[in-house]
Amino acid sequence: MTTTIDERKKGGTPALIGNDSQRTLRAGFIPLVDASVLIAAAEFGFAEREGLKLDLVKDVSWANVRDRLAFRQFDIAHMLSPMPVASALDLGSNPSPTITPFSLGRGGNAITLSAKLFARMREVTGLSETASALENAKALKTLLDEMRARGEAAPTFGVTYPFSSHNYEFRYWLAAGGIDPDTDVKLVVVPPPLTSDALAAGAIDGFCVGAPWNMVASERGIGRIVAAKQDIWPSAPEKVVGMRPEWAQAQPEAVSRLIVALDAAARWCDKAENHGALAETLADARYIAAPVEIIRQVLAGRFNVDAQGNHRVIERYFTFHDNFANYPRKSQALWIYSQMIRWGQTTFSTNAAEAAASAYRTDLYRNALGAQNAPSEPDIRIEGDAENDRFMDGHVFDPSAIEDYVRSFAVSAGTKNHRDEDEV
pLDDT higher than threshold 60 for residue 56? yes
pLDDT higher than threshold 70 for residue 9? no
pLDDT higher than threshold 50 for residue 415? no
The model's pLDDT over 344-385, given as tens digits with 9 standing for 90+, comes to 999 999 999 999 999 999 999 999 999 888 887 554 344 545
Q: Which fold has domain 5-106+237-287+320-398?
A: D-Maltodextrin-Binding Protein; domain 2 (3.40.190)
The model's pLDDT over 204-230, given as tens digits with 9 standing for 90+, comes to 999 999 999 999 999 899 999 999 999
Q: What is the pLDDT of residue 342?
A: 97
**Once rounded to an integer, what is the mean pLDDT over residues 50-74?**
96
The model's pLDDT over 237-288, given as tens digits with 9 standing for 90+, comes to 899 999 999 999 999 999 999 999 999 999 999 999 999 999 999 999 999 9
Q: Name residue 80's amino acid.
A: L
Average pLDDT value over all residues in the chain: 89
Crossing angle (nearest 10°) for helices 133-149 and 115-125: 90
Taking a C-beta distance cutoff of 8 angstroms, is the pair 316, 235 a contact?
no
The DSSP code for 237 is B
pLDDT higher than threshold 60 for residue 323? yes
Using alpha carbons, select from 230, 228, 232, 231 the residue that is nearest to residue 218. 228
Compute the distance between CA of residue 102 and CA of residue 104 in angstroms, rounded to an integer: 6
Taking a C-beta distance cutoff of 8 angstroms, is the pair 321, 107 a contact?
no
State pTM to two decimals: 0.90
Compute the distance between CA of residue 47 and CA of residue 33 in angstroms, rounded to an integer: 19
**Once rounded to an integer, what is the mean pLDDT over residues 114-123?**
97
Q: What is the pLDDT of residue 371?
A: 86
Q: How confident is the model at residue 299 (pLDDT cuts 50, 70, 90)?
A: very high
Q: How confident is the model at residue 92 (pLDDT cuts 50, 70, 90)?
A: confident
Q: What is the pLDDT of residue 13?
A: 35
Q: What is the pLDDT of residue 424?
A: 41
DSSP letters for 161-194: -SSSHHHHHHHHHHHHTT--TTTTSEEEE--GGG
Q: How confident is the model at residue 78 (pLDDT cuts 50, 70, 90)?
A: very high
pLDDT higher than threshold 80 for residue 17? no
Taking a C-beta distance cutoff of 8 angstroms, is the pair 28, 74 a contact?
yes
Q: What is the pLDDT of residue 91?
A: 95
The model's pLDDT over 164-181, given as tens digits with 9 standing for 90+, comes to 999 999 999 999 999 999
Q: What is the pLDDT of residue 377?
A: 55
Taking a C-beta distance cutoff of 8 angstroms, is the pair 100, 247 a contact?
no
Q: What is the pLDDT of residue 421?
A: 46
Taking a C-beta distance cutoff of 8 angstroms, is the pair 403, 410 a contact?
no
Q: What is the pLDDT of residue 386?
A: 52
Q: Name residue 418's amino acid.
A: H
The model's pLDDT over 327-350, given as tens digits with 9 standing for 90+, comes to 999 999 999 999 999 999 999 999
Q: What is the pLDDT of residue 303?
A: 81
Taking a C-beta distance cutoff of 8 angstroms, is the pair 79, 240 a contact?
yes
Q: What is the pLDDT of residue 414?
A: 52
Q: What are phi and psi of 56, to 5 degrees?
A: -85, 130
pLDDT higher than threshold 70 for residue 104? yes
Compute the distance between CA of residue 104 and CA of residue 266 in angstroms, rounded to an integer: 8
Q: Name which residue leads in pLDDT, 375 or 183.
A: 183
Lowest average pLDDT, out of 27-31, 319-323, 396-400, goes to 396-400
